[in-house]
């Protein structure tokens, strides 16, 4: 018995040390799409940033070096026209909208490391222009005449196939018939290579249904794409390098954000400044940071995962990889595609009056409650629905009566038990230890496969197990060691639950830790743990636990 235990412990130590060494150097670069700065943020984007945030926080917990990027796409004719309608300057307009998106990220406790704006001339334009030049040098950009349809509302070229009764199906308006000189990108050249990358799994598209969807599109053959527009029709965007009469169309402008934020192309600014007149050159602070951020490109690229909506799959899984191949840059490792959120079963629209405002929901029910709903009730990678009726049901059942109630119960029990629960308590190996190891395994497995809703289901099942345990053991009626054991098991389970929910509901997690570890030093020691340490059963010391404010107010 004793021997077995020792070998087991030794094996654990070896395993943990190995994991630590392996995870020490892991970098994890995660991005959301950049939101189109044409209107205030909607709940779909709130879900996307919450998904990305949960993954970023999970990877930080594992000890990875995480870089998490979000941002706004601020160029294009539609934006200029909206600003004109509102009678404000275009820059002023995008500043305002971009600030709203940044406020949303702050409000939702999103832990992004950077926020890129495509109107950022220093950081973004230099990168977009450098990438364009690389594609041109590779012989993949050519000038040609475009003749066809263009919908201003979509900001997209449409083909005959896209039209319904001669109209754009999204805007119910006939598109403009245009004929103009544009630059084109040789996307067709990369069809087979992209197909190969996706089929081999080197570029992973999740979920599977989206992978099949894009493979079918690619098998149908990719056509070259229009890569610029004449400046007289599009004058709010990045100028095409070496041709003042043309402005970049969305592809080379928007998709480049994923590398511009890392400082791709900024070394050129540095070099330009250095090659300028000696006396005009100063090592300006922004150049020092650009030197720093070029390092970020070397360190973090390629992206470990791009999180995007299903409507922009083709751009990210076909055009973007082709651009990167042409520039001889590495491809992202994964693209995770989420679905759309309906409101009460219907598409959200102003005219139906069913648009859900994420700020309003967060303000009314708490940020964590909104995060929980978006991550648990909307299936990761699928479509889902938001309704206030459903929201309140979930809130009551899972948060107020579920996690909130268990926390209050366990802390009240521990408080009246007035034991000092510490590592010196030698309790027998409990079933909880075995159960919770299984929970952690599923936890990691589902998170690594981007099934965030399943991860939350697993945690809540375990919360149910704890509730049943309380009902079965009735610790308030127990005495002595048995009572200590039961209460300790519950405290320890609650501590591990606080770690499990941390990527999803950082505030609730903090609140639990503050109640479990009232002593600041002791809490710091706990918070400094990495995931491998946090998972170990029975290593925490609970002194003077305190039942604090409710995690979730009852409705």
Find the binding residues for Zn ion in span 518-537 (CB under 5 A): none
- Smallest separation, CB 153 to Zn ion (Å): 4
Query: Which of 176, 181 has the CB closer to Zn ion?
Result: 176
Interface with Zn ion includes 171 (CB under 5 A)?
A: yes
Residue found by looking up tokens 């050129």 in the block: 268
Q: Is there a cis peptide before residue 123, judged by omega within 30 degrees of 0? A: no
Q: Across the beta sheet with 65-73, what order do the strands follow?
A: 114-117, 65-73, 27-36, 305-309, 334-338, 204-206
Q: Which of 131, 151, 414, 463 binds Zn ion (CB under 5 A)?
A: 151
d(CA 328, CA 437): 44
The CA distance from 507 to 367, in Å, is 8
Cβ nearer to Zn ion, comparing 159 with 244: 159
Q: How many CA atoms lie within 13 A of 19 on its CB side?
A: 12
Part of the chain binding Zn ion (CB under 5 A), chosen from 162-170, 248-256, 374-382, 448-456: 162-170
- Residue reference for tokens 């993954």: 55
Torsion angle, alpha carbons of 462, 463, 467, 468, to 10: -20
Question: DSSP secondary structure string, 320-385?
Answer: HHHHHHHTT-PPPSEEEEE--EEETTB---TTTT----HHHHHHHH-HHHHHHHHHHTS-TTS-EE
Residue 19 or 178: the one with the smaller Cβ distance to Zn ion is 178
Any contact of residue 154 with Zn ion (CB under 5 A)?
Answer: yes
CB of 36 to Zn ion, least distance (A): 14
* CA–CA distance, 338 with 466 (Å, rounded to integer): 32
Based on CB atoms, which residue is closest to Zn ion, 249 or 460?
249
Of 60-68, 153-161, 305-313, 500-508, which segment contacts Zn ion by CB under 5 A? 153-161
- CA–CA distance, 35 with 202 (Å, rounded to integer): 27
Residue 234 CB, shortest distance to Zn ion, in Å, is 16
Report in angstroms how near the CB of residue 167 gets to Zn ion at its nearest: 9
- Residue closer to Zn ion (CB basis): 156 or 478: 156
Stretch of residues binding Zn ion (CB under 5 A), selected from 150-158, 303-311, 316-324, 409-417: 150-158
| Segment 116 to 145, residues that bind Zn ion, using CB under 5 A | none
Which residue's entry shows tokens 């390092």? 295
| Closest CB to Zn ion among residues 171, 524 | 171
In the complex with Zn ion, the residue whose CB is nearer, 178 or 478, is 178
Closer residue to Zn ion (CB): 153 or 201: 153
Output the six-digit token pair for 161: 């196939």
Nearest approach in angstroms of CB 162 to Zn ion is: 9
* Rg (alpha carbons) of the chain, rounded to whole number: 27
Q: Check binding of 169 to Zn ion (CB under 5 A).
A: no
* Site membership for Zn ion, residue 168 (CB under 5 A): yes
According to CB under 5 A, which one of 8, 153, 166, 242 is a site residue for Zn ion?
A: 153
Nearer to Zn ion, 152 or 394 (CB): 152
Q: For residue 291, give Cα distances in angstroms to 25, 31, 232, 260, 262.
A: 22, 22, 35, 13, 11
Question: Residue 148 Cβ, how far from Zn ion at the closest point, in Å?
Answer: 14
Binding residues for Zn ion, total number by CB under 5 A = 6
Residue 170, interface with Zn ion (CB under 5 A)? yes
CB of 170 to Zn ion, least distance (A): 4
Q: Which residue stretch of 161-169, 191-199, 252-260, 278-286 sits at the interface with Zn ion (rule: CB under 5 A)?
A: 161-169
Q: Are 300 and 67 in contact (CB under 8 A)?
A: yes
Catalog residues that contact Zn ion under the rule CB under 5 A: 151, 153-154, 168, 170-171
């Amino acid at each position: 018995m004793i021997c077995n235990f020792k070998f087991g412990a030794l094996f654990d130590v070896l395993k943990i040390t190995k994991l630590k060494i392996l995870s020490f150097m892991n970098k994890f670069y995660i991005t959301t799409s950049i939101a189109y700065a044409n209107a205030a943020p909607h709940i779909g984007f709130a879900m996307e940033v919450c998904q990305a945030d949960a993954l970023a926080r999970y990877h930080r917990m594992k000890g990875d070096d995480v870089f998490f990027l979000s941002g706004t796409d601020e160029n294009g004719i539609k934006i200029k026209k909206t600003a004109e309608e509102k009678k404000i300057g275009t820059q002023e307009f995008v500043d305002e909208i971009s600030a709203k998106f940044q406020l949303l990220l702050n409000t939702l406790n999103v832990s992004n490391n950077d926020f890129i704006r495509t109107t950022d001339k220093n950081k973004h334009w230099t990168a977009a222009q450098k990438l364009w030049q690389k594609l041109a040098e590779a012989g993949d950009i050519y000038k040609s005449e475009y003749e066809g349809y263009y919908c201003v509302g979509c900001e997209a070229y449409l083909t005959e196939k896209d039209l319904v009764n001669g109209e754009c199906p999204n805007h119910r308006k006939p598109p403009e018939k245009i004929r103009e000189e544009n630059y084109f990108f040789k996307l067709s050249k990369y069809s087979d290579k992209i197909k190969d990358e996706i089929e081999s799994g080197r570029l992973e598209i999740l979920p599977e249904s989206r992978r099949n969807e894009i493979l079918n599109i690619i098998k149908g053959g990719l056509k070259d794409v229009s890569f610029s527009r004449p400046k007289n029709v599009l004058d709010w965007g990045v100028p095409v390098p070496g041709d003042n009469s043309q402005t970049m169309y969305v592809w080379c402008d928007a998709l480049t954000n994923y590398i511009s934020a890392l400082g791709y192309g900024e070394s050129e600014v540095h070099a330009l400044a250095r090659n300028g007149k000696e006396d005009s050159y100063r090592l300006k602070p922004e150049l020092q940071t650009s030197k720093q951020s070029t390092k970020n490109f070397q360190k973090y690229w390629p992206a470990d995962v791009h999180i995007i909506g299903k409507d922009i799959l083709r751009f990210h899984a076909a055009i973007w990889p082709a651009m990167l191949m042409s520039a001889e840059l590495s491809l992202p490792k994964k693209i995770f595609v989420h679905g759309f959120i309906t409101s009460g079963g219907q598409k959200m629209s102003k005219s139906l009056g069913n648009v859900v405002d994420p700020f309003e929901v967060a303000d009314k029910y708490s940020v964590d409650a909104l995060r929980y709903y978006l991550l648990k009730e909307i299936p990761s990678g699928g479509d889902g629905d938001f309704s206030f009726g459903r929201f309140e049901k979930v809130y009551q059942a899972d948060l107020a009566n579920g996690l909130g109630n268990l926390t209050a119960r366990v802390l009240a029990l521990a408080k009246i038990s007035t034991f000092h629960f510490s590592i010196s308590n030698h309790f027998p190996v409990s079933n909880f230890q075995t159960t919770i190891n299984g929970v952690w395994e599923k936890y990691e497995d589902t998170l690594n496969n981007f099934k965030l809703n399943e991860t939350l289901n697993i945690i809540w099942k375990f919360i149910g197990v704890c509730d049943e345990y309380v009902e079965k053991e009735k610790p308030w009626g127990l005495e002595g060691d048995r009572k200590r054991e039961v209460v300790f098991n519950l405290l320890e389970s609650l501590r591990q639950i606080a770690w499990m929910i941390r990527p999803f509901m950082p505030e609730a997690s903090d609140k639990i830790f503050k109640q479990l570890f009232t002593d600041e030093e002791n809490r710091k020691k706990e918070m400094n743990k990495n995931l491998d340490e946090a998972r170990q059963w029975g290593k925490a010391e609970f002194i003077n636990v305190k039942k604090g404010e409710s995690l979730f107010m009852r409705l």
